[in-house]
Amino acid sequence: MEPDARAARGRQVNEIERMGRLKRFLAPQVAELIINSGDDKVLDSHRRNVSIAYCALRGFASFAEFAEPEEVLNVLREYHECLGALIHKFEGTLERYAGEGLTILFNDPLPCPTRPSGPYGCG
């Protein structure tokens, strides 16, 4: 393999690894913006009108107390998959999740052209 090709392949591997690390901690669309733009200014402090939605499963704590661990994990997996698809569809950013509780931002850190309908449509 030629030195230029080896260097190019090394850069590609580094970018893939960087994207993987960013996606572990950021919404995929934010990670892609940082990679594509080459800088992380999108994460700088700023002011913007946002819509925020919080979701939780009613009665989940009681259910989790008596259900088998596998059943609890299956419910969470299905719930997160379903809501993940809706969050993506309505251009939200998953800000945080803890168990069955999710906090979703619309219009930050990326502008959301569907705001304010995003959280209403998603709900």
Look up residue 100 and give its DSSP letter: T
pLDDT-based confidence at residue 116 (cuts at 50, 70, 90): low
E strand segments, the chain: 51-55, 92-98, 101-106
Query: Which pair of structure tokens corresponds to residue 24?
Result: 């572990």
Look up residue 107 and give its DSSP letter: S
Q: pLDDT higher for 28 or 120?
A: 28
Q: What number is the average pLDDT over the span 80-106?
A: 87
Q: What number is the average pLDDT over the span 96-111?
A: 86
Q: pLDDT higher for 118 or 72?
A: 72
Query: Which pair of structure tokens corresponds to residue 115?
Result: 């705001």
Cis omega (within 30 of 0) for bond into 3 = no
User: pLDDT per residue over 12-53, tens digit each?
Assistant: 777 777 777 777 767 777 777 777 777 777 777 888 888 899
For 34, the enclosing helix (H) or strand (E) is helix 28-37
Which is it for strands 51-55 and 92-98: parallel, antiparallel or unpaired?
Answer: unpaired
SS percent in the chain: helix, strand, coil, step 5: 55, 15, 30
